[in-house]
Structure 1
Amino acid sequence: MPPNVPKLRRRTLYQHWKGAEPWQRRNMVLASIMLVWAGVLMVDMHNLKQDPVLRAKLKLDDPDTLTLRQRWGNWVDRTLKMKDEDW
Structure 2
Amino acid sequence: MVRVPLTAEEIERGRLLGGLLRTARGERSMVDVAAEADISVETLRKIETGRIATPAFFTVSALAQALGLSLDRIAAVLTEPPARRDVAS
> TM-score, normalised on structure 1?
0.25
> TM-score, normalised on structure 2?
0.25
